Amino acid sequence: MKKFLMPALLAIFLLWLMFFSDREKPAQVKTLAMGTLVDMTLMGLGGQTNHRVVQDAMTHLRRLETQWHPDRSAEDGSALLADMNARLATAETVAVPAALVDGFSQAAAYSRSSQGLFDPAVGAVVKLWGFHSDESFPQAAPSDIALSQVMPTQRFDQLLQQSAITGSVGMRLDFGAFAKGLVLQEVSDAVQAQYPQASFLLNGGGDLVAVGQHPERPWRIAIRHPRQGGKFLALIELQDGEAAFTSGDYERYFDITNSAGETQHLHHILDPRTGWPAQGTQSLTVLHADAGLADAASTALFVAGDDWPAVAAGMGVEAVLRVAADGTLEWTEAMAARAEITPNGQGQVLKPLLRSLP
Amino acid sequence: MTSATLQDRQIAGFAALAVVIHILEASVPSPLPGVKPGLANVITLIVLWRHGWVAAAWVAGLRVLVGSLLLGSFMTPTFMLSASGALASIVVLGLTSWVLGTRRPWSPSVYGYALLAAWAHMAAQLWMAWWLFIPHDGLWRLAPVLLMASTVFAAVTGWAAAKVLTWLAQQQERPC
Amino acid sequence: MRWLAVKPMDLLLWGAALAGLLALYACLWRPAAQAATLTVLLDNKPVKEVGLNQNQRFLVSGPLGDSELQIEGGKVRFLHSPCRNQVCVHHGWASHNGELLACLPNRIALVLSGDAESTHEAGHGEIDAINF
């Protein structure tokens, strides 16, 4: 019998290897969600666990997406914000659902710190323009009269009192400039809490959250050039737990010719002060450890135009890169230490203008 | 007891030889690093023929273990690949010799066994490589090429094993 | 030494192996896949895979109708789309590994993989993602 020992041991060992060992290999999932293509690459937990965790993360993400969608109806009551909007529009006072309380208070804080340049209260304006839908899009700007009727009278942080909001006819809350960051951050936090040793890159249609370490080198990302599709503006190495969010005027937009014969580039980032697409910026990128803040700040700073450094200081973001309407590059000290500008078409590396925060 | 010791010594010698081939084979380039044609199957076949399946399993196991220790690849992907190849070929050899025997009219000869061992070796390594390391389906596109190489090497190992077995049989016919 | 001679079972085995090889070549062997490939996903399921080296235009049918894709010089873009917001068309060319390009209304997503246009600008090696 001794003779059988070695082959038997060998066989058992190899069978064990085949069926129970979980060799490391990154798992990737791409899915259409949050009005864009979401892509998550995760590693560090072993092949099968990696795969399961990304699948679970996407399920989590879809659940949060439904909660924060301003209009989607769900029969099981999971569309918390949409249900709330339906009641607010009939001037009811509605308590914020428990699952949204945290996000609402963060949004109120950003609304205050950005002095209303980020404001979820402008949901009805977004809807009037028609930028809220994945399916349809505006062909013309709304009339001034229609716009004046839906402009909110109070900023979001003024609306939110003791975790409740008093509605008014036609009111619609839209967290479009914040929900993606919030959802990516929540999904990322949930994965990190359960699997501290996981490394992953969560890409929500170009907005990124990086966690942990890429196995061979730092996470490396490129910022897209706002006017030269397929070209890069800058390269950045993301740190553990850092998010990169860019607001740009080059994707959701339409061009119209006004009565004076000029072409107007009307995009989806609306200035809450005027109800019109914000002018003065082509794209603006923010790096921050909190994806929700990075998302809200990239929108608010985009809207701020040339005055963005003051808003950045108010909101507590330091790393900012901006392409102004005339193509001028601007950045902060913190961004200059991180980003490397890529050569332009002529092979020159343009040095951005350094703007210091007040 | 004396014959058992002799057999043990012979098996140890064969295992050492198999280790040498295993190490030489490690330097053979392959389109999939770690996936090897299985030239050391020559020794497995010879031992199977002369000493039976249990001894052959010992030789295959020792070869993979000692070979990987000497190469420093123990428990690495390369080790997993060669171990899965060795395990698969020894299992296939065992099942076939159990069902068809080695010396019956309908038994395959060493040529047939060489082919079985080589295909089992390659198929297991490919599957292992796909399952553990490269889950990309493009990997299977390499299957025909790799299996063709295996078939060619099977002919070589079968031929070499037949030669050695013939020579060993002639040696034994001499009175001790 | 009769048991070392070639036997009927050997011929059977070798015949089967050669036939199997031929079948495998017929089924699996295609010319080496282009390093840079475009995978078209419809409703999150891959429906088409093409190399980025062949300049071509083709249609992908989604729920809204046909989206026309154009591949040229290693890049791909949505040329026409039945969707109303045209975000996919506005995105323009995509050529970098890991770049995402999608038309949500028509449920079409494009994934670039393999050695899509070298992202070695300024000698930086691979890029994990593009921020936009």
Q: State yes or no: pLDDT of A77 exceeds 80.
A: yes
Q: State yes or no: pLDDT of C3 exceeds 80.
A: no
Chain C nearest C-alpha distance from A177 (Å): 14
Count of pairs with CB atoms under 8 A, one residue in A, one in C: 122
For residue C73, give both structure tokens.
Answer: 């010089």
Does residue A135 sit in the same domain as residue A242?
no
Q: Which residue has the higher pLDDT, A215 or A36?
A: A36
Report DSSP state, residue C4. G
Residue A1 in any domain: the answer is: no
pLDDT band at B1; cut points 50, 70, 90: very low
Q: Which residue has the higher pLDDT, C28 or A96?
A: A96
Domain boundaries, chain B: 2-170
Q: State yes or no: pLDDT of B38 exceeds 80.
A: no
Is B128 near chain A, with CB under 8 Å? yes
Q: To the nearest 10°, the Cα dihedral for B117, B120, B123, B127?
A: -130
How far apart are alpha carbons B98 and A229 in whole angstroms?
A: 66
pLDDT band at C118; cut points 50, 70, 90: very low
Question: What is the per-residue pLDDT for B137?
Answer: 57
Nearest CA in chain A to B4: A3
What residues in C contact A41, CB-CB < 8 Å? 128
Q: State yes or no: pLDDT of A5 exceeds 80.
A: no
The answer to whether the Cβ–Cβ distance between A18 and B54 falls below 8 Å is: no
Question: What is the per-residue pLDDT for B33?
Answer: 63
Is B108 near chain C, with CB under 8 Å? yes
pLDDT band at C125; cut points 50, 70, 90: low
How far apart are alpha carbons B98 and A11 in whole angstroms?
A: 17
Which of C96, C111, C119 is nearest residue A30 as measured by Cβ atoms? C111
The answer to whether the Cβ–Cβ distance between C17 and B115 falls below 8 Å is: yes
Strands across the sheet containing A353-354: A27-33, A36-43, A199-204, A207-211, A242-248, A281-288, A319-324, A329-331, A353-354
Which of C121, C124, C128 is nearest residue A214 as measured by Cβ atoms? C128
Contact residues, A window 324-343, toward C, CB-based 8 Å cutoff: 340, 342-343
Query: For A289-339, what is each residue's pLDDT tens digit?
Result: 999 999 999 999 999 999 999 999 999 999 999 999 999 999 999 999 999
Contact residues, A window 32-51, toward C, CB-based 8 Å cutoff: 32, 35-37, 39, 41
Which of A32, A135, A340 is nearest residue C84 as measured by Cβ atoms? A135
Does residue A222 sit in the same domain as residue A160?
no
Q: Which domains does chain C have, with CATH numbers?
A: 36-123 (2.60.320.10)
Question: What is the per-residue pLDDT for C117?
Answer: 43
* Average pLDDT over every residue of A180-200: 96
User: Among candidates A160, A163, A184, A161, which has minimal Cα distance to A173?
Assistant: A160
What residues in A contact B61, CB-CB < 8 Å? 6-7, 9-10
Nearest CA in chain A to C111: A30
Task: For C19-79, give the DSSP string.
Answer: HHHHHHHHHH--S---SEEEEEEETTEEEEEEETTS-EEEEEEETTEEEEEEEETTEEEEE
Residue A39 in any domain: the answer is: no
By percentage, how much of chain C surpasses pLDDT 70?
A: 80
Task: For A141-205, give the DSSP string.
Answer: PPPHHHHHHHS-SS-HHHHEETTEEE--TT-----TTTHHHHHHHHHHHHHHHH-TT-EEEEEET
Does residue A161 sit in the same domain as residue A285?
no
The answer to whether the Cβ–Cβ distance between A25 and B132 falls below 8 Å is: yes
Question: What is the per-residue pLDDT for C116?
Answer: 44
- For chain A, the domain total comes to 2
Mutate to test the interface with A, among C83, C99, C119, C128 (most CBs of A within 10 A): C128
What residues in C contact B169, CB-CB < 8 Å? 1
* Average pLDDT over every residue of A127-136: 79
Q: Which residue has the higher pLDDT, C34 or A321?
A: A321
Question: What is the per-residue pLDDT for A11?
Answer: 62
Can you tell me the ipTM of this complex? 0.79
Is C30 near chain B, with CB under 8 Å? yes
The answer to whether the Cβ–Cβ distance between A7 and B57 falls below 8 Å is: yes
What residues in B contact A14, CB-CB < 8 Å? 83-84, 87
Q: State yes or no: pLDDT of C73 exceeds 90.
A: no
The answer to whether the Cβ–Cβ distance between B115 and C25 falls below 8 Å is: no
How far apart are alpha carbons B110 and B124 in whole angstroms?
A: 21
Q: Across all residues in chain A, what is the average pLDDT?
A: 89
Chain C nearest C-alpha distance from B2 (Å): 27
CATH number of the domain where residue A234 is located: 3.10.520.10
Nearest CA in chain B to C9: B108
Question: What is the per-residue pLDDT for A13?
Answer: 63
pLDDT band at C86; cut points 50, 70, 90: confident
What residues in A contact C40, CB-CB < 8 Å? none
The answer to whether the Cβ–Cβ distance between C20 and B147 falls below 8 Å is: yes
Residue A133 in any domain: the answer is: yes
By percentage, how much of chain A surpasses pLDDT 90?
A: 68
The answer to whether the Cβ–Cβ distance between A47 and B132 falls below 8 Å is: yes
Chain A nearest C-alpha distance from C55 (Å): 17
Residues of the domain holding A260? 218-354
Does residue A158 sit in the same domain as residue A228?
no
Q: State yes or no: pLDDT of A81 exceeds 50.
A: yes
CATH number of the domain where residue A90 is located: 1.10.3980.10
Contacts of C11 (CB under 8 A, 6+ apart): none
Chain B nearest C-alpha distance from C111 (Å): 15
Q: State yes or no: pLDDT of B91 exceeds 50.
A: yes
The answer to whether the Cβ–Cβ distance between C90 and A35 falls below 8 Å is: no
What residues in C contact B92, CB-CB < 8 Å? none
Does residue A234 sit in the same domain as residue A155?
no
Nearest CA in chain C to B158: C4
Amino acid, single-letter form, for residue B39: L
Residue A282 in any domain: the answer is: yes
Q: State yes or no: pLDDT of A20 exceeds 60.
A: no
What are residue C39's DSSP bridge partners? C49, C111
What residues in B contact A48, CB-CB < 8 Å? none
For residue A111, give both structure tokens.
Answer: 């609304």
Amino acid, single-letter form, for residue A272: P
pLDDT band at C5; cut points 50, 70, 90: confident
Question: What is the per-residue pLDDT for C120?
Answer: 37
Contacts of A268 (CB under 8 A, 6+ apart): A126, A129, A131, A251, A252, A253, A277
Q: Position of tokens 């992953």?
A: A200
Q: Across all residues in chain B, what is the average pLDDT?
A: 83
Contact residues, B window 142-171, toward C, CB-based 8 Å cutoff: 143-145, 147-148, 151, 154, 162, 165-166, 169
Provide the CATH topology of domain B2-170.
Answer: Arp2/3 complex 21 kDa subunit ARPC3 (1.10.1760)
- The lowest-confidence range among A17-26, A237-246, B99-108 is A17-26
Does residue A231 sit in the same domain as residue A348?
yes
Residue A12 in any domain: the answer is: no
Residue A36 in any domain: the answer is: no
Q: Which residue has the higher pLDDT, B48 or B37?
A: B48
- Rg of chain C (C-alpha set): 23
Chain A nearest C-alpha distance from C72 (Å): 13
Q: State yes or no: pLDDT of C121 exceeds 50.
A: no
Residue A15 in any domain: the answer is: no
* Average pLDDT over every residue of C9-18: 91
Residue A4 in any domain: the answer is: no
Instruction: Pick the last residue of a domain from A125, A143, A166.
Output: A166
For residue C11, give both structure tokens.
Answer: 């011929």
- The lowest-confidence range among A103-112, A219-228, B41-50, B72-81 is B72-81
The answer to whether the Cβ–Cβ distance between A220 and C127 falls below 8 Å is: yes
Q: State yes or no: pLDDT of A264 exceeds 60.
A: yes
- The lowest-confidence range among A76-85, B34-43, B121-130, C49-58 is B34-43
User: Among candidates C45, C76, C81, which has minimal Cα distance to C60?
Assistant: C81
The answer to whether the Cβ–Cβ distance between B132 and A10 falls below 8 Å is: no
Q: Which residue has the higher pLDDT, B30 or A176?
A: A176
How far apart are alpha carbons A68 and A89 in whole angstroms?
A: 17
